[in-house]
Amino acid sequence: MKIGICPGSFDPVTNGHLDIIKRASHVVDKVVVAVLNNPFKNPLFTIEERINILKEATKEIPNVEIDSFSGLLVDYVNMKNADVIIKGLRAVSDFEYEFQMALMNKKLNKNVETMFMMTSSEYSYLSSSIVKETFKLNGCIEGLVPDHVIDAMRKKFKEVL
């Protein structure tokens, strides 16, 4: 059984992430979406909230598991007995960072492979940050994230502002 790990902040999940997760679910037997618990970032949603939002968003995909991790991704990949890290690429600007990460992960553990999937053109400009920024300024984000994410953001911004 081939296991792929889709790591990220998912703060919150967007339709761009979901596109990659769905496509990955056709390539491997199981996709583990791993939410990075990074104490140096200042996320809008807590780990638990991001996990719950992801669970709701992926409930129709049978071979997806939602989890979280902290520390080195390669250690987490080993712990899950996974075969491959699957990442999305939006633009040339993603490439440099992802190239560096993939090579560093290879250096840390030569058995860990990274696979890249090109974004679908309709999501190529989409990131969690641009969605949050737009929403904060009352811009319309319909169609860019699932509806329950819009509800969660509405609630969250009421709490934090």
Active site positions, annotated: 17, 41, 90, 128
- Give min distance, CB of 142 to ligand ADP, in A: 16
Beta carbon nearer to ligand ADP, 14 or 58? 14
Nearest to 87 by CA among 119, 64, 61: 119
Applying CB under 6 A, what is the total number of residues that bind ligand ADP? 17
**127 touches ligand ADP by CB under 6 A:** yes
Helix (H) or strand (E) holding 50: helix 47-57
Contacts 24+ apart (CB under 8 A), 48-54: 49/152, 49/156, 50/9, 50/10, 50/11, 50/12, 50/13, 53/10, 53/12, 53/13, 53/148, 53/149, 53/152, 54/10, 54/13
Greatest Cα pair distance, the chain, in angstroms, is: 46
- Give min distance, CB of 20 to ligand ADP, in A: 5
**76 touches ligand ADP by CB under 6 A:** no
**37 touches ligand ADP by CB under 6 A:** no
Contact call for residues 68 and 47 (beta carbons, < 8 A): yes
- Give min distance, CB of 120 to ligand ADP, in A: 7
Among 126, 149, 152, 153, which residue interacts with ligand ADP (rule: CB under 6 A)? 126
**50 touches ligand ADP by CB under 6 A:** no
For residue 123, give the amino acid letter.
Y
Tokens at 120, concatenated: 């679908």
- Give min distance, CB of 94 to ligand ADP, in A: 5
What residues line the site for ligand ADP (CB under 6 A)? 8-10, 14, 16-17, 20, 87-88, 90, 94, 119, 123, 126-129
